[in-house]
Each structure stands twice: as structure tokens, then as C-alpha cells.
Structure 1
Amino acid sequence: MSGNDNRETEWDVIIIGGGPAGSTAATTLAQAGRRVLVLEKSKFPRFHIGESLLPYNRRIFNELGVWGKIESAGFTTKRAAQFILGDDTRGNRLDFSKGSFTEYPQAVQVERSKFDKILLDHSREAGADVAEECMVTDYRIEKDRVVLKYRSLDLADHEVTARYLIDASGLNNFTANKEKLRRYYPTHRKLAIFGHFSNVYMPKGEHEGDILIIRRERSWVWMIPLEENKTSVGLVIDAADFKALGKKPPEVFADAMADTPAVAKRFANAQSLDQFHVINDFSYKNDILASPRLLRVGDASGFIDPMFSSGVMLAMTSGQQGAQAIDAALKKDDPLSAEMKFYEKDNRRRIAIYWEFIENFYRLHFAQIFFQPYNRWGMVCSINAVLAGRTSLSWAVRWRLRAFFLLAWLNKYIPIAKRIDVR
């Protein structure tokens, strides 16, 4: 079990997890001619959070060659995001087609069970081997290979080897948890309660397909139209506030729907289509994303508040870039290549762009400006580009964003914007 640097391995790369990050990495590597094994613990299709995509997902879909399958699946077209105050007195609609820095004018709202299966089946067709209902139980990194153990549905134990490992295990965060690398954001301990509903009153006409993001005083609600009579609705609330209420998740959810005017009028006749789902303390980062023969991608590289629907786009971007970094490392047989190190730096940069918006959205001085948009110097267009999923920012976008955040900060001390009640 030691010594020979030229030792044969069964696979070039093993990927833990077949969600959007894992399937994107698998397809990218398989298309590059690499021997790829995906180990997925579930049987697809399966339920998952994160149903609203961003326009810049389209670039990756095109490069993977999967857009035609997604387009023909009949998903709801998403042209804009609406941000609404809880008392329903004010809103801000960001139309992706009207942003001067936004290249892609629309996205799709997807039921993740269907969407994720399309991506994983596409990985198979590209040449990756996919084993579902296989639970990874352990791994170790050796000098010249990675050794994984997993258990299949028949409870048989298996051992496989590869030259590199990609952890795309999602919120399970498999390798980082093993190495105790997970770090929660100390001021952002949230809880999400969500499910699918019928008879939710959603926008029609030109605004049909819009996601609604409704700001409450210390929490927010999403409403995502998935089909003609199926809407994903979720409440994101501070974990401490939830605990203080002393109620069960369905009760807290129902109370929030009833006492938020912008939600109540849309939810009056709603009927639940499935069980409630709850995620606790979901915002975190990992200390290390790239180490010898190992990369962490997607939610296994970190997860942030889903307020701006960035999750799938960030996951697929990291899966693609991570796979490209591993392909480059394979060519050089470099356990920790420059490309792998750059991937870590670039992935953290992308997450930081959205984290700045998320942290500020909960702050009063930011919300007062955000809900009174004024496109001087094209600042709203720069926000539009980021919220559409653009993370490779030109100087023209970056300076406008910095001006916007500066004005928001000044608004805390000087009335830059009209004082409105955004609670």
C-alpha cells in the first residue's frame, strides 16, 4: 500500500455527490476524456432546496451541452426578481433584460428533483460512471492516490481508488466535516422552513414567472412559481428568534404567512402539496477548499443564505472550474497544482460578492436605499448584473457597486435616501 508513484488507480477522479456541482464536474471531466466515478447517496429524482436559477447559469448549460434538455423540460421562465416589503407598500423589480451589464436576459425556475436528474443523466451520457444509493463512509489521501470506501444499497462495502477526489457532497460537507474545517458565520445563524403549495396567487402577464422575495423585519419569505399551480414557499428566520417563539416549524411558518400583508394576500387559499422541510444553521464556510489530491466544490465549499438565488449558479461554476483545475493537475501529475490553489481563491471571491449583499439586506440603512432604486451612474444596472449571476466583474460594474455600497453606508449617518419604514 505504499511507495510506487506510478501505481495504477481505478479512476482519474472520484466525485462524492451527484447534485449540480458534482454532475457539472463529472460532465466537464468526462468530456475531457477522464475516467470519472460519481458516488451519490440518494436515488434520483429526489427533493432538494434551491429552485430558482440565475440567467448566468445559461453559459454553463451551453458549455456542458445540456441546455437543449433543460429547455425542453418545460420549466417556468424567470425574467425578473421582485423584492417586496412585508407590509406591501413598496417593491423593487429587477428585470434581467434591462440591465446594461447583464448578458443573459432570463433564467428558469426548476423543480430540483427533475432538474438535478437531467444534469446527472447528462453526466452518464458524457461518459461518467454514476453509482446511486452509494454512501461514502471513509477516505484517505496517500502520496499518489486517494482511497475511498463506500457502502452500496445491498449493504456491501467497497473500496475504490483514484488520482484525485472532488467533494461535491453538498450540505453534508463530508470531507470538511471529517477534517473539522466547517465554520459557521457567527452573526448569521438562520433556519429555513419550506415546502410546495398550490393555489398561491402569483404574478401574471408580463411578470409571470418572477420570484418574489418578501422582506420582514428580521426574516424573509421566498415564493417561486414552479408550475402553473405549484409554488415553492419558504421562510428564512434567525435561529435564535425561532427558538424564542417556542413553536414547531409549521406553526412558525403559518404565523409568518398570516401576519405579513404582502404574503397573506397571496397565500390566503394556499394548500400544502407535501411535507414541510427544515434546514438549520445553513450558512457556513470551510477553512480549506484545495488540498493535495482533493477539491471541495458546490455547497461542500461553503453555503450562504439563499436570498439571491445564487446557490445553483455558484455550485455549477465551482464544479466546472474545479474540474478544469483537476484536469490541469492530472496533466502535470501535481497533487496541489497552481490551478487548484487559484480555484480556492476564485471560489471565495465569488461567494464574497453575494455575501456582501446578503449581510446588508438585513440592515435598515441598506434596505432604505435598495427599496428606493435610483439608477444614477448605472448603479442599479450593476446590481442587476450581480443578481443575474455575473461574477466576473468589469471595472465598470465594480466601481458602481462600490459607489452603491458607500451610499448605503453613508445612509446610516446621513439621510441619503428618504426615511421609509422597511420593517
Structure 2
Amino acid sequence: MAELQGRYDVIVIGAGPSGSVAATSLANHGYRVLILEQQHFPRFSIGESLLPQSMEFLEQAGMLQAVIESGFQHKNGAAFCRGHEYDYFDFRQKFSDGWGTTFQVQRSRFDKTLADVAEQRGVVIRYGQTVTAVDQCEGGITVEVKSEEGSVYHVTADFLLDGSGFGRVLPRLMNLEKASQLGTRIALFTHIEDNIRDSRFDRNKILITVHPENPEIWYWLIPFSDGRASVGVVLPRELFDEASQEQKATLQRYISEGGMLSEVLANAVFDTPVRTLGGYSCDVKSLYGERFALLGNAGEFLDPVFSSGVTIALKSATLAAATVHRQLQGLEPDWELEYAAPLKTGIDTFRVFVEGWYDGRLQDVIFAGSKNESVKGMISSILAGYAWDTRNPYVREPARLSTLAELCRL
């Protein structure tokens, strides 16, 4: 037990992307960092289609080369179809400066890659550990931990970061949760042997499909580099009764209604159990407090439609690590101005686009017959994750999306 006790500069809950990037960034400054992870890696997770903006954050933390060397599927854009309508956005043709390409990743391997880099940089990671309580103490914050063997111990740090994702450890323990304003939806998804031979499908792009009769239903198809793919459907919660529906049959039935998607997946082998995720949209009362801050999904998650989750997670990790560094240097940073407000700039941009997707405005823009190339580049930038580039008029004033949709309907 004694070796588990101790004092660190920073404790991070969760070894996912936000936790590993924040921990590595702080370790790069010489801090003693401990990650407490409930599961063992590799482990399954969704959020497999990265956005190019993520590459910048990985590069800043010195973790990008390990990702590049992992052999993940190249990605250069996003394609959209509705029935047999089809269009795409090439992220290399965007308004914002920066990376125009990224990867589509099996998260089990991607997350372990990042965690391994964190350990190589001196971060201590303890797997199979569950945080059960937190307590402010004199000069720090103490975390109560239960090991998988059942023992309970305590560790103390100057600062605590929560990168627990959908586990949302600190929001639950500190009563920070609040209801999301986004609608309640459920996702059904799995991995398949895709056997795609359809020339219309571009493996360098995620394919997002709209149900031809119900625009609130949409699908993702994310190809991997090994001939497999992640496929899922997102439904309004009222359309799925978990008690009365067989999940694999339900997913396959919706895919059969997907127009071009059904044809692309005509030879797919569904060889992995179908999973569900519901009630994923979430929010919190505050992203930070005395000696703690929330990262990524532990703070707020919008919707999987634009694959923004990992990008927001990495942005939060980058901002938080820099702010913690200033705090540990005794500089008394303003967490609202230096962390919460900048992070929310991008979150709020993504939120407008998510809302626009479900109310039809963004779908009208995407499937418009003709597009102004300059404006398309601005939209492409946001879809590529550059939701913090305030030079972009659609970041500076996201409500412009409504005007653009009206013009596209003419």
C-alpha cells in the first residue's frame, strides 16, 4: 500500500487522448504526473475519425510522430450522401492555415499509442484504478482510489485534471452535471469487414449518410487501413426500443434503407457485436474549480456527427496543460479567460453546426447544387476542426449559417 501513496504535481483521471496529451505536455515541463485509468489498454472506444486540427495539438505535445508511424488510415476530407445525392469537402482546400490531412484510427490502438508515449516521457500510469472521492486539502487536492484488487488508497497533488471521458468522474463526484440542450439520441455501431469494391467510395474520407426519408437519422462509415471499418447509425431516442429490438438486425435494417450506403456495404461481413450509446450529449456547470479542471468529454460532449469529440478533447488538454503550468509557476492564471472562454469558442461553433445539421440548415448547405468555393472553404475549415480560427466568418459569427442556408435554398 505504501508505494501507492504519494504526492504528485498533477493527477490526471483517465489515459484517453485528453488525459495522455495533458499529462505528456506537463511532463515535458518537468512535472511529476500520475494518470489513474480505470480500464486496461488497449480497450475499445468510439470517436475514430480524427480532424486535421488534432494534428497540431499532437505535434505540440511531441506525440505526432508516434501516431504517424502507427500505420493508420489516411484521411483528407468528409463525404456526404443522401439517397444517391453525393458531395464532399476536401480538408486540404480550406480557409484556415494548418494541417489538411489526418487519420482514421482504431481507438484501442490510437489511445494506447498516446498512453505509451506519455509513459516514455515519465508519466506514471496506473491501470485498473477507480477514483471514488476527491477532497480539497491544505495546499492541494487528495484523491481516493480503489484498485482492482479492492484496496483503497489516497494520493495528493497540487492540481487535478479529469480526462475520464463519458465516465465523467468529477462531474458526478462534485455535482457539476447539467442537462444538455441537444436532443436525446442513441447510436448503434460496430466494426465490420467492409469488403468495399464500390468505386464511389473514397477510403480517404469519412462517409456521412443521411436517411433519405428522415433527415434526423444519419450514418457514419469510417474505413480503417486493414480492410475493416466502423459503421453506425444515430437515431432519435424514440425510434429505438432497446427492450424489443435485436441490435444487429436493427443496424442492418437501417443500413438497408441508406441508399448509396447500402450498395457500398453490399458485401460487408458483420462479425462483431453491435454496441449502443445513448444519452451521450452532456454539459457541466463549470469547466474548472479550485485546483481542478475538466477535459474533453468529461466537461461537454455535443454529438458524433462531425467527429469533433477528440479535437475538443485535445484542445482542452493543450489549453489546460498550459494554464496548469502557469499556475504551478505561481502566476495565478485566470481560468475563465485562459481556459474556459477560449475552449468554448470552438465548442459553441461546433454546437451551431450540430444544431444546423439536425434542423436541416447545414444539410441544405452541404447538398446545395452549386457552391461558392470561398464559402465552401470556410465551411470545410470548421468540418476539419478549425473551430477556433476567429478569422473565419463562420467561427466569428456562427449564426451566419442560417443566412447561408437560406441562400442555398433559392
Q: Offset at 1:93?
A: 0.4
TM-aligned CA deviation for residue 192 of structure 1:
0.9
Instruction: Summarize deviations over 1:383-421 as a string: whole Å, max 9, x none.
Output: 111111113324354489658514246x2xxxx3357xx
**2:86 touches 2:367 (CA, 8 Å); kept in 1?**
yes
* Residues in 1 aligned to 2:160 and 2:60: alpha-carbon distance in whole angstroms: 23
Return the letter of the residue paired with 1:329. Answer: Q
Question: Which AA in structure 2 matches 1:388?
Answer: A
Deviation at 1:269, TM superposition (A): 2.0
In the alignment, is the contact (CA less than 8 A) between 2:394 and 2:401 conserved in 1?
A: no
One-letter amino acid of the counterpart of residue 80, structure 2 = F
Q: Please list, as runs of the form range in 1=range in 2, the aligned pairs for 1:224-243 lying within 5 A after superposition.
A: 224-243=222-241
The alignment partner of 1:10 has SS state of strand
Distance in 1 (alpha carbons) for counterparts of 2:331 and 2:144: 23
Distance 1:244 1:197 in 2: 22
1:395 aligned counterpart, secondary structure: coil
How far apart are residue 191 of structure 1 and its match?
0.7
Name the stretch that deviates more: 244-253 or 218-227.
244-253
Query: Residue 55 of structure 1 corresponds to which residue in structure 2?
Result: 52
Instruction: Choose 103-112 or 386-395, whichever is displaced more.
Output: 386-395
1:296-321: per-residue Cα shift (whole Å, max 9, x none)? 00110111111111111111110111
Q: Do the aligned residues in 1 keep the contact of 2:35 with 2:125 (CA within 8 Å)? A: yes
Q: 1:281 aligns with which of 279, 282, 289?
A: 279
- Does the CA contact (< 8 Å) of 2:182 and 2:302 recur in 1? no
Q: Deviations over 1:224-247 (max 9, x none)?
A: 001242010011111122139942
1:141 Cα deviation after fit? 1.8
1:116 maps to: 111
Distance 1:60 1:315, change over 3 A: same
Q: Aligned partners of 1:312 and 1:250: how far apart in 2?
A: 26
Q: Distance in 2 between matches of 1:16 and 1:179?
A: 14
- C-alpha offsets along residues 86-112 of structure 1, whole Å, 9 cap, x if unaligned? x12x12200011224342121100100
Residue 35 of structure 2 corresponds to: 38
Identity %: 27
- Equivalent residues in 2 for 1:135-146 (5 A)? 135-146=130-141
Distance 1:202 1:329, change over 3 A: farther
CA–CA distance in structure 2, aligned partners of residues 68 and 367 of structure 1 = 36
1:98 to 87, 93, 96: 93
The answer on 1:364 being equivalent to 2:365 is no
Distance 2:356 2:392 in 1: 22
Q: CA 1:223/1:396 → structure 2, altered by over 3 Å: closer, same or farther?
A: closer
Which residue in 1 is equivalent to 2:121? 126
- Counterpart CA distance in 2 for 1:341 and 1:26 is 22
Corresponding residue SS for 2:116: helix
CA drift at 1:278 = 1.0
In structure 2, what residue type is equivalent to 1:103?
G
Distance, in Å, in 2 between the alignment partners of 1:393 and 1:374 is: 25
Flag structure 2 segments of 5+ consecutive residues without an equivalent.
none
Query: Which of 8, 11, 23 lines up with 1:14 in the alignment?
Result: 11
Contact conserved, 2:72 with 2:104, CA < 8 A, in 1?
yes
Q: Normalised by the size of structure 2, how large is the TM-score?
A: 0.92
For the structure 1 residues 9 and 292, does the alpha-carbon distance in structure 2 shift closer, same or farther, using more than 3 Å as the test?
farther
Q: Any gaps of 5 or more consecutive residues in structure 1? A: 1-7
Change (3 A) 1:141 1:197: same
Given the alignment of the two structures, is residue 376 of structure 1 paired with residue 372 of structure 2, yes or no?
A: yes
Letter of the 1:262 counterpart: M
Cα offsets for 1:36-78 (capped at 9, x unmatched): 0000011110000110001111111211222221111111100
Q: 1:66/1:340 Cα in 2 relative to 1: closer, same or farther (>3 Å)?
A: same
Greater mean alpha carbon deviation, residues 294-303 or residues 137-146: 137-146
Q: Which amino acid aligns with 1:154?
A: E
Of residues 296, 314, 317 in structure 1, which corresponds to 2:315?
A: 317
Q: CA RMSD in A?
A: 2.3
The SS at the match of 1:247 is coil
CA separation in 1, counterparts of 2:92 and 2:268? 31
1:417 is aligned to 408
How far did 1:185 drift? 2.3
1:3 alignment partner in structure 2: none
Distance in 2 (CA, whole Å) between partners of 1:247 and 1:205 is 32
Count of residues paired in the alignment: 403
CA displacement 1:198-257 (0-9 Å, x = unmatched) = 134266599332110001222110000012420100111111221399423323212101
User: 5 Å matches for 1:138-217?
Assistant: 138-201=133-196, 207-216=202-211, 217=214
Amino acid at match of 1:181: L
The residue that corresponds to 2:62 in the other structure is: 65
| Residue 364 of structure 1, CA deviation | 3.0
CA drift at 1:361: 0.8
Identify if the C-alpha distance between structure 1 residues 205 and 248 changes in structure 2 by more than 3 Å, giving closer, same or farther: closer
2:76 to 73, 76, 79: 79
SS at match of 1:223: strand
The question of whether the paired residues in 2 share the 8 Å contact of 1:328 and 1:339 is answered with no
Q: 1:238–1:406: structure 2 CA closer, same or farther, 3 Å change rule?
A: closer
TM-score (norm. length: structure 1): 0.89
User: 2: CA distance between counterparts of 1:258 and 1:179?
Assistant: 44
Displacement of 1:173: 0.5
Q: How many angstroms apart in 2 are the aligned matches of 1:143 and 1:373?
A: 63
Give the deviation of 1:293 after TM superposition.
0.4
Q: Which residue is 2:340 aligned to?
A: 344
Task: Tell me which amino acid in the other structure corresponds to 1:47.
Answer: F
Residue matched to 1:5 = none
Seen in structure 2, the aligned counterparts of structure 1 residues 361 and 102 have a Cα distance that, compared at 3 Å, is farther
User: How far 1:375 moved relative to its partner?
Assistant: 3.9
SS in structure 2 at match of 1:263: helix
Rounded Cα–Cα distance in structure 2 between residues aligned with 1:406 and 1:370: 13
